[in-house]
Amino acid sequence: MEMAFTAQLLLLSSLFLQPVLVHSQTNGSIAVGGSLTATAEGNSSLSWLSPSGDFAFGFRPLGNNDLLLLSIWYAKIPDRTIVWYANNKPAVAPAAPLGSTVNLTAHSGLVLTSPQGEELWKSETIVGVVANGVFNDTGNFVLEDDSSKKLWESFKNPTDTILPGQIIQTGGSLASRQSETNYSKGRFQLRLQQDGNLVLNSINFTTESTNTPYYGTATTTGTVPGSEGKQLVFNDSGYMYVLRENGGKYTLTWGNRVSAMAYYTRATLNFDGVFAQYVHPKTFSGNASWEPLWSLPENICLDIDADSGPGVCGFNSICTLSAADKRPKCECPRGFSLLDPNDLYGSCKPDFIQSCEEEEEHLYDVQLLTNTDWLTPEYARSEEFTADNCSESCIQDCLCGVAIYSNQTCWKKELPLSYGRVDSSLRTTTFIKFRKDNSTLPVPPSPSPDDKKNNKTTFTGIRPVILAAALLVCLVLIAAAFSLGLFFTFQKKQVRIMQSGLNISLRPFSYQELQEATNGFTEELGRGSFGVVYKGIIQNGSQVQVAVKKLHCVIQDGDKEFKTEVNVIGKIHHKNLVRLLGYCDEGQQRLLVYELLSNGTLASFLFADVKPSWGQRMEIAYGIAKGLEYLHEECSTPIIHCDIKPQNILLDDYYTAWISDFGLAKLLMMNQSHTHTAIRGTKGYVAPEWFSNMPITTKVDVYSFGVVLLEIICCRRSIDVENNCEEKAILTNWVYDCYQEGKTDAVLDHETEALLDKKNLEKSVMVAIWCIQEDPSLRPTMRKVVQMLEGVVEVRAPPCPSSYTRSA
């Protein structure tokens, strides 16, 4: 009895000692012959740690069963986020039962075996002899020979996540999981193609072929030699970019930029096809979690279409984008429910039988939705309809599943519906039909012995036409389920907004703090319509360079209004918009604190003695367009900038364009819905409506963008009074004259690189001319501008910009 008690005591003490042994293994070096055994999480299974203890290599549990996953994870975060896992390409991630072992061998590298000795997984074929394993603080597990040559590394065999310091070469890829908890290969991938284009696309499992990308960086050769991408780089500072063959960079990182010393960061291709970068504070308390910084594409619900393979959501479902984290969610309309209740991203089935009996028309009603559509082709289209006509027409049509109404036109579509999405630009009214009494599909009674004997089944109370309809619906659902083989069991990710850690709220500063930070406002960076900008350094644990803007004047109604407007500006985040960090509201002093961009203004970059490259200029123009599109289309209330010009476009380390001063026009007593005598803007960039009795809308920014686009194309200022040639003094007039005479090349002054890209040159000039139309109604929206620059929308020949004034 005493011996048994002693044995139990030793066993119990070993369980308490085990975690201590785990955390003592922090030198990051593993000798050949080392091994780990998969044990229950409750027994604190051993793992190999990186020197800092930030990362762990070992076994993590899979769900609530007794299976585990060989993986690498963040060891100091409570949720132990997995960043790499052993997987059998292209099949499934090997689930290791309890008692499985991973061994580090000299000739086969890492080998995972079951308790019965069956090989479940091993690292790629090793050329050479492994001397030891090195697990470093970047999260990279490396196998080396005795000369420290790398024979295999986890960074070169990524799964769904890329970490700082990691590089993906041409041909390399990330693959999503099937769901949040299913680590088998999912249906989305990120790949740096052989042509240098970084793309996101879906995969056809049956053929392993890829569908048309729903996102791409367009970093291909085109007509500019050396512009193709060769690496996807996630550098140690948390910046991600495609490195071009010619050394140029296509930057992906934007939004909040955080210290690598204070935050963990990763970029993951999520199971729903969204590629996003996340940060997590290294020191935290409470319910701190991963905070998204940016994601691609901007709206996956809209960007995936029929050419891009199956949508994010299944048939009859509606895809909407979460504003907080830009992740999609799927919902069934009224009268529909999930075909598989466990598949939240799957198909929705109607909970009723749709009959074609005339006397049953009164049993149906429609759910009213706005700005919702499915890409399923219509089978009927009617003109000169009202919304009521459209709704009633669908109710009376037994084939109609949904009717879409817009601008006196009614489109009717039948079930099943595919690629449902909410799109605020549609301006549609949608009527989806459902049965009022929620009559569900009938269940046939069990056949009687006589029926079995006569080889027939009786369905009591069901008319033949209803039976036929039921069978038809079943067949449709079976076909839909079969075609949805690509849709697997997803578990909706519950994204929590971070309550501590990354501070995304604005910081209030005292005037004295900013006076000290700017050394008495001595180093002036620039001045404009809204105020003077000074360079400063904020002490925040480390020295942070900032730009401090002293505003000329602000709204006069007190602190509350000022803080309200500033907080609205502070909540705006986009890749191409300068981040507001804080403000000062003290007495008559009103100051704003922005992040400082390293490469100054577009003006100093564009009008220097040496012209920037054509490709770089076009990327800058596209970035400005995207930033304005966000301000006009994506904010809850459209924001009119009112002073778009090169001096208000800043450039970061990678020459990405960042728009500054947005929101200040409203802050400085601007009522942006009516005409004012106080004109806002800068000579040469001001839209004509400022000088007439016309409303001020977002189209004033479109005009200014058109002028800036011409400056980017020509690398010269919009007004050049020092030019000896009078006909070239006004850039907008001169460029249009060149375009009308078929001499677009003349605007480039023999610039070889741009002339090689003549098609893009002509398109960009035409887009600019559309933007500078004096009639605001002729100008495109910024969303249309972006689409034209992307080549998604055809650019038609523009009219003379000043014809509106002449006719008036």
Q: 676 φ, ψ to 5°?
A: -135, 150
Which two tokens mark 645?
């010009």
- Partnered with residue 250 across adjacent β-strands are 242
* Among 751, 753, 714, 761, CA closest to 733: 714
Query: In this structure, are residues 141 and 154 in contact, taking their beta carbons and an 8 Å threshold?
Result: yes
For the purposes of burial, counting CB atoms within 10 Å of the CB of 769, is it exposed (0-12), middle (13-18) or buried (19 or more)? buried
CA distance 382 to 776: 32
* Residue matched to tokens 């999981």: 177
DSSP state of 356: -
Amino acid at the residue 551: L
Whether omega for the bond prior to residue 464 falls within 30 degrees of 0, making it cis, is no
In sequence order, the 6+-apart residues with CB closer than 8 A to the CB of 398 are 354, 355, 356
DSSP string, 709-775: HHHHHHTS-SB-TT-S-GGGSBHHHHHHHHHHTT-GGGGGSS-HHHHHTHHHHHHHHHHHHHHT-SS
Angle, CA 57 vertex, CA 54 and CA 58 arms, to 5°: 135
Per annotation, catalytic residue among 272, 325, 643, 701: 643
Amino acid at the residue 277: Q
Query: In this structure, are residues 334 and 435 in contact, taking their beta carbons and an 8 Å threshold?
Result: no
For the purposes of burial, counting CB atoms within 10 Å of the CB of 605, is it exposed (0-12), middle (13-18) or buried (19 or more)? buried
Amino acid at the residue 200: L
Whether omega for the bond prior to residue 297 falls within 30 degrees of 0, making it cis, is yes
Query: In this structure, are residues 139 and 83 in contact, taking their beta carbons and an 8 Å threshold?
Result: yes
Element (H, E) at 244: strand 240-244
For the purposes of burial, counting CB atoms within 10 Å of the CB of 171, is it exposed (0-12), middle (13-18) or buried (19 or more)? exposed
DSSP state of 407: T
* Among 194, 169, 146, 164, CA closest to 279: 164
CA distance 139 to 83: 8
CA distance 131 to 31: 7
Q: Is 643 a catalytic residue?
A: yes
Q: How many helices (H) and strands (E) does the chain have?
A: 16, 45
Could you list the active site residues?
643
